[in-house]
Amino acid sequence: MKPVHPFRPAPPEVSRRRADSLIAWLRDYAESRIDSRLFDERRCVPPFVILDFGNRGLMGLQVPESHGGLALNYRDFFRVLEQLAAIDISLASLVFIHNGNGVRPIQGYARPELRDALLPILAAGRELSAFGLTEPAAGSNLPGLQSRAEPLAGGGWRLSGVKRWNASGWAGIFSVFCRTVDARGRLGHVTGFVLRQGMPGLRHGPESLTMGVRSIMQNALIMDGVTVEDSHVLGEVGKGMEIADEALLVARLCMGAISLGGMKRCAQLMYRYASRREVSTGRLIDSPITLSVFDAVTIRIATVQALVDRLVATLDRGDMPSDEACMIAKIVASDALWQTADDLVQTLGGRGFMENNIAPQILRDCRMLRIGEGANELMTLSLGRRVLHSPSLRALMRDELGAPHLDALMRTTAEQAMERCLQAQGCFASRGDAVAWAHTLAGRVAIAALLQATLEAAARSAPSAALAAACDWAAAGLETARRDALEGMPAESRLADAGRVGAMIAAYAGDIGDLEQAPPGIEEGVDPMLRRTPGAGGYPAFGHLPGNADGRAVAPAPAAPAQVSAEDKRARAAALLKSRLSPTAT
């Protein structure tokens, strides 16, 4: 499905000039106004940062000028993301989620009236946008989506379901994806919708406290009978996954740009420290062990740069790169950043473990990229399924990259790996397990083959020592992936079924027990006696204990005491004294 409103960037020189100006501003702004550690500890981006970003155009990087945006082309969009990631991966992720996942479906597929109303608000940063696709039971398994869109007799839709991990905490405008329901209650195809904060039935769930990118608020988005008009449908009914897939394709390349910025920043910090640190043999930078780490880091950077540049050029030509190539870019880039961030912590030694030295936050933040927009392991398996049947991957390898020999090698290896795994005796519990393992091995070969083809093409057009080293590295990686696929991996001979694994894990309880912390915690809810409805919760169920006020009923205020005469007071006091002096008193 083609966008209703095709993307039209500014002329290349205008786009480049705007991006250059924005990047220069970001570098200055980062040194005077951004405190990443404070944002991380407070789990919040200060409002002034969002306002400043909006005023500078960061919240409408590819929004048309007619709607208040900068209309950057893809190369310049990704340059800005790379710079932001070098400053703060959380901020880069916030800008990418808003511009890519949030704005993109509305800009491309919303009805003209709705698009024209929302884009100026989004481009100025007056409201943030979120992308509601993932559900508690449907992460990488998108066919498992259960959110429902029921058509109403008089027109419009009623939406029900829960969306998770969508950076919706501050968002006011949401692109959500639900499966339609027919008259017999059967779930159909996915359809996209635009929702606004304040719609009846739409609310946020509790905030999820994440390991990294902690300054982005993550809340569940709950749709409890939200009614929307037909004008809020994105694109065509039943074709929502095409819209979501397009957003995910670009999002995975955004992650590649973010990974580049993060890796280059890690390399800078590593070199700054290693060139100053004196060890027993001299400067740390002169150690062959340290130099081998830098060699690996620079090869990773050159590899991801070549891959992202190639795919960005495709986008700026007006074409869409293959899904498989974008998946590979995301897998390779996020894995490379994770390894580089770990190298940073290790190179810095004890200083790398100190929160005030930036490295721990980079490590925590970049971990999300290996999970978000599809877990790397599952995408690798999916790649293996597609190797033999994807015409777009074949066209990329043979025609665009000029590597028909690598394409043939990749496909032959995938076929032979499947044959070997299906013939393996005793290694797999079922045929399905053997097929999944073969697809994973084939996916790893596809990643390695595409990397080698991309690097060789880049080296042919612009030779450099960095690309030559990366080509050697990629060739070695491809050979390793092929050997694992054709000859098997040591792990295959040790695979156990789920029952055996469960039995082994259960035995650990004898050594360490089976623990589950259950501390008292803190009171979260408002005291029941202060709520509009006293019995609406707020306390644990202590109603059976004496002295508890559980809020189930509020006792009426006691009546004012009746006036007691002085004579009555004396009589009561005498009776009380007599009872206490009595031998039978208890």
CA atoms within a 13 Å half-sphere pointing along the CA-CB vector of 67: 27
The arithmetic mean of pLDDT across residues 272-295, rounded, is 95
> Is it true that domain 243-494 has CATH number 1.20.140.10?
yes
Amino acid present at 186: R
Strands in 144-198 per DSSP E: 148-151, 157-163, 171-181, 187-196
Within the chain, what is the greatest distance between any pair of CA atoms?
A: 115
The two structure tokens encoding residue 584: 């039978």
Report percent pLDDT > 70 for the chain: 90
The model's confidence at residue 523, banded by pLDDT at 50, 70 and 90, is confident
Q: CB neighbours (10 Å) of residue 482? A: 21
- pLDDT in the model for residue 268: 98
- The angle formed by the CA atoms of residues 251, 41 and 366, to the nearest 5 degrees, is 30
C-alpha–C-alpha distance, residues 354 and 349, integer Å: 9
Strands in 247-400 per DSSP E: 278-279, 282-283
Helices (H), 57-189: 74-87, 89-96, 104-109, 112-123
Q: What is the pTM of this model?
A: 0.89
Picking from 187-191, 296-300, 555-559, which range would have the lowest pLDDT averaged per residue? 555-559
Picking from 325-334, 399-408, 473-482, 518-527, which range would have the lowest pLDDT averaged per residue? 518-527
Cβ burial of 280 (10 Å; 0-12, 13-18, 19+) is: exposed
Is 434 in contact with 421 (CB distance < 8 Å)?
A: yes
DSSP state, residue 560: P
pLDDT tens, 36-85?
999 999 999 999 999 999 999 999 999 999 999 999 999 999 999 999 99
If you average pLDDT over every residue of the chain, what do you get? Answer: 90
Q: Could you check whether 131-237 and 243-494 share the same CATH topology?
A: no
DSSP state, residue 552: S
Write the CB contacts of 209 (distance below 8 Å, at least 6 apart in sequence).
43
89-96 and 359-367 are packed helices; what angle lies between their axes, rounded to 10 degrees? 30
The model's confidence at residue 528, banded by pLDDT at 50, 70 and 90, is confident
Is 177 in contact with 240 (CB distance < 8 Å)?
A: yes
User: Is the pLDDT at 257 greater than 60, yes or no?
Assistant: yes
545-575 exposure pattern, b = at least 16 Cβ within 10 A, e = fewer:
eeeeebbeeeeeeeeeeeeeeeeeeeeeeee
- pLDDT in the model for residue 575: 63
- pLDDT in the model for residue 200: 95
Write the CB contacts of 54 (distance below 8 Å, at least 6 apart in sequence).
123, 124, 125, 126
DSSP state, residue 284: G
Dihedral angle, C-alpha 330, 335, 337, 342, nearest 10 °: 160
Is 245 in contact with 252 (CB distance < 8 Å)?
A: no
User: Is the pLDDT at 34 greater than 60, yes or no?
Assistant: yes
- Identify the helix (H) or strand (E) that includes residue 221: strand 218-228
Closest residue by Cα to residue 322 from 399, 260, 381, 376: 399
- pLDDT in the model for residue 78: 98
End-to-end alpha carbon distance in the chain? 89
Q: CB neighbours (10 Å) of residue 64? A: 19
Is 239 in contact with 180 (CB distance < 8 Å)?
A: no
3 state SS for 123-142: HCCCCEEEEECCECCECCCH
Amino acid present at 517: Q
Token pair 């000029």 is found at 402
> Is it true that domain 12-126 has CATH number 3.40.190.10?
no
Cβ burial of 541 (10 Å; 0-12, 13-18, 19+) is: exposed
Is 185 in contact with 166 (CB distance < 8 Å)?
A: no
Question: What is 471-531 written as a DSSP string?
Answer: HHHHHHHHHHHHHHHHH--GGGGG---HHHHHHHHHHTHHHH------------SPPGGGS
Amino acid present at 75: R
Altogether, the residues listed in the chain come to a count of 586
- Identify the helix (H) or strand (E) that includes residue 205: strand 202-208
User: Is the pLDDT at 361 greater than 80, yes or no?
Assistant: yes
Is 322 in contact with 328 (CB distance < 8 Å)?
A: no
Domain ranges of the chain: 12-126, 131-237, 243-494
User: Is the pLDDT at 12 greater than 80, yes or no?
Assistant: yes
The model's confidence at residue 144, banded by pLDDT at 50, 70 and 90, is confident
Q: What is the CATH number of domain 131-237?
A: 2.40.110.10
DSSP β-ladder status, 128-132 and 171-181:
parallel
